[in-house]
Structure 1
Amino acid sequence: MRTTASSAAGTIDGTLDGTIGTVSPVELSLVVPLFNEEESVGPLIERICAAMATYPSAWELILVDDGSTDATIANAKLSLSRSGLILRIIELQRNFGQTAAMQAGITEARGRLIATLDGDLQNDPKDIPSMVAELERRELDLLVGWRKNRQDGLFLRKVPSFIANRLIGRITGVRLHDYGCSLKIYRSAVIKQVQLMGEMHRFIPAWVAGVVPSSRIGEMPVTHHARQHGVSKYGISRTFRVILDLLSVMFFMRFKARPGHFFGSLGLGLGALSALILFYLFIDKFILGNDIGTRPLFMIGVMLFLSSAQMITTGILAEMIARIYYRDGASLSYIVRAVHEGVDSSDATPQP
């Protein structure tokens, strides 16, 4: 076992062949974010090893512990000495959220392809080899799992997810049945062009559509199991956060590289309305001779003018910030405490 400590914030680093640093023989990287899954992590590793036993190429398993407060890390370390398993455990300094944990795993992944799945045993690792084959057959850059027979509560999970999936598909233009399924297969060179922040992991297909055509994003039905251990980290309150995140996604998809157009359009619209009101009051004052000093319409016109100027200047500032962002890049909001490794990547061999 090898442990590497780190205190630096994670940043995206990679090459177009999907590797980090030097070329790795690993073909597929499995990334699993974990948070307080002490009862699930052992069976999860067993299921993954069983599902990947006949996979023809070398693969690695990356477990990302997102600041668990139970025995998740200790139970995961029991598999570090497992023969033939390339296992790396990334231990984050505290709980940063599923999106940051997923980004940490994707950043560290060395495979040409990357698979992500949840650590609660609800996703079935047996679907991964068939999904990889389907992605290659259809020449896709992202294949999303579709929990067609979802084993969750009807009103707390299924109905909100159905509404959210329809809304996300309509706004983003990437129409999928199940945005929330964590079981996905990516081409490493593509997903590493996408920077995940906040709680945006559920909108990954929309972000990927920003770097590749939506025609290269597909889905296929996958198996879904009921939760066996622990409690769900999500509830009905997530619906409201999804709506707010969706507004952010809509803004970034359309105006990420040109935010000045968004704020400028609002500013020009408010300015045009202000100009009409003030022109009308000008005629009313200087031609018709009426008093306009105490009229509410006069105050509205002035406020619209000030709002217009504010929106336009905000757009200019946003354009400047966007240029700095694209010039310098950005750091991710997670910190790695340590990386625990079992088998060195130079000894990578396909599972027997």
Structure 2
Amino acid sequence: MLAPDVSVVLPLYRNSASMQELVERLAKALADEKFEIIGVDDACPEVSGEVLLSSAASLGVETRLIRHARNLGQNRAVLAGLQEARGRHIVVMDSDLQDPPEEIPRLLAEARTSGVQVVFGRRVGTYRRLSDELTSYVFKWLLFRLANCGFDPRIGLFFVLDSEARMQLVAPRGAAPYVMAMLACAHPSWCSVAYERHARSSGRSAYSFKRRFVLAINAFHCYAQIKREGRL
């Protein structure tokens, strides 16, 4: 089987309500690409993985599903998907439709014309509470400053990376890997493309203040471990 040009990695947890629409919009946005979807069902109680498979099958979209027996968190789900990705370019995005699939062609075009290893979506617009936005910005500003990578604090888990950058992320990591810290420490060539991030259409974010605080601690721990061991 020929390798696809693009792999789309989707961490799945309580995304069954948005899955059909997400797959339909991905199929339309990437109609001119040979692409695959790699879903990582992170022990989702809402059978998001099954909804993904059925939705993709109805549209003839090549899809593979990785199942975690227990919930390992978004970052491990992303890394598991990257491990299986076969595309020359890999798209990483959430599955809740806050990041519009229609923006993917712009990120891919920038990656192909600029030759950088990673193209991030740079979030603009009002899509969550100001307090949440401020704490997220400060956290990422501190992390990226420590790593001296120059990343914009308005980026997140919506990006395109090439196969070389992917290989830097799929090597064995510690107990609490954090994708953005790993990318920051790798110092890839990068750029960003502004896009309007949407508010959640339904439900609430699983990231409470407490959970976001724990993730921040994990991120700095991951950064410190990488620096200490000199793995990137």
User: TM-score, normalised on structure 1?
Assistant: 0.60
The answer to whether the 8 Å contact 1:59/1:111 transfers is yes
Write out per-residue CA displacement over residues 226-277 of structure 1, whole angstroms, 9 at most, x where no aligned residue. Answer: 111232111222443244234324423432139xxxxxxxxxxxxxxxxxxx
The count of residues paired between Structure 1 and Structure 2 equals 228
1:173 correspondence with 2:173: no
Quote the Cα distance in structure 2 between the aligned partners of 1:131 and 1:241: 30
Secondary structure of the 2:101 match is coil
Secondary structure of the 1:222 match is strand
Alignment-derived partner of residue 121 in structure 2? 145
The answer to whether the 8 Å contact 2:7/2:90 transfers is yes
Secondary structure of the 1:237 match is helix
Secondary structure of the 1:144 match is strand
1:164 correspondence with 2:139: yes
* Uncovered stretches (5+) of structure 2, i.e. residues with no partner: none
- Higher deviation after alignment, 141-150 or 117-126: 141-150
Quote the Cα distance in structure 2 between the aligned partners of 1:150 and 1:115: 23
1:263-342 correspondence to structure 2 within 5 Å: none
Alignment-derived partner of residue 223 in structure 1? 196
Alignment root-mean-square deviation, CA: 2.1
Secondary structure of the 1:82 match is helix
User: Could you tell me which amino acid in structure 1 is paired with residue 181 of structure 2?
Assistant: F
1:117 correspondence with 2:93: yes
Among 155, 165, 170, the residue aligned to 1:190: 165
The answer to whether the 8 Å contact 1:63/1:90 transfers is yes
Q: Judging changes above 3 Å, is the alpha-carbon distance between structure 1 residues 129 and 236 closer, same or farther for their aligned structure 2 residues? A: same
Secondary structure of the 1:119 match is coil
Alignment-derived partner of residue 224 in structure 2? 251
User: Could you tell me which amino acid in structure 2 is paired with residue 60 of structure 1?
Assistant: E
Among 45, 69, 73, the residue aligned to 2:23: 45
Among 76, 94, 98, the residue aligned to 2:74: 98
Which fold has the larger relative contact order, with Cα–Cα distance below 8 Å and residues 6 or more apart in sequence?
A: 1
Q: Judging changes above 3 Å, is the alpha-carbon distance between structure 1 residues 207 and 257 closer, same or farther for their aligned structure 2 residues? A: closer
The answer to whether the 8 Å contact 2:125/2:196 transfers is yes
The answer to whether the 8 Å contact 1:98/1:199 transfers is no
Among 191, 200, 205, the residue aligned to 1:232: 205
Q: Judging changes above 3 Å, is the alpha-carbon distance between structure 1 residues 180 and 139 closer, same or farther for their aligned structure 2 residues? A: closer
Among 156, 174, 179, the residue aligned to 1:201: 179
1:200 CA displacement: 0.4
Quote the Cα distance in structure 2 between the aligned partners of 1:88 and 1:242: 28
* Uncovered stretches (5+) of structure 1, i.e. residues with no partner: 1-22, 259-352
Alignment-derived partner of residue 106 in structure 2? 130
Quote the Cα distance in structure 1 between the aligned partners of 2:146 and 2:219: 8
State the structure with more CA Rg. 1
1:177 CA displacement: 2.5
1:41 CA displacement: 1.1
The answer to whether the 8 Å contact 1:39/1:230 transfers is no
User: Could you tell me which amino acid in structure 2 is paired with residue 220 of structure 1?
Assistant: V
User: Could you tell me which amino acid in structure 1 is paired with residue 11 of structure 2?
Assistant: P
Quote the Cα distance in structure 1 between the aligned partners of 2:59 and 2:26: 14
User: Could you tell me which amino acid in structure 1 is paired with residue 28 of structure 2?
Assistant: A
Alignment-derived partner of residue 89 in structure 1? 65
Write out per-residue CA displacement over residues 126-183 of structure 1, whole angstroms, 9 at most, x where no aligned residue. Answer: 111110111122211011111122411111x201012112211211112223365211
Q: Judging changes above 3 Å, is the alpha-carbon distance between structure 1 residues 140 and 239 closer, same or farther for their aligned structure 2 residues? A: same
Quote the Cα distance in structure 2 between the aligned partners of 1:170 and 1:129: 30
- Higher deviation after alignment, 108-117 or 160-169: 160-169
Secondary structure of the 1:248 match is helix
Secondary structure of the 2:91 match is strand
Alignment-derived partner of residue 52 in structure 2? 76
Secondary structure of the 2:196 match is coil
Q: Judging changes above 3 Å, is the alpha-carbon distance between structure 1 residues 250 and 81 closer, same or farther for their aligned structure 2 residues? A: closer
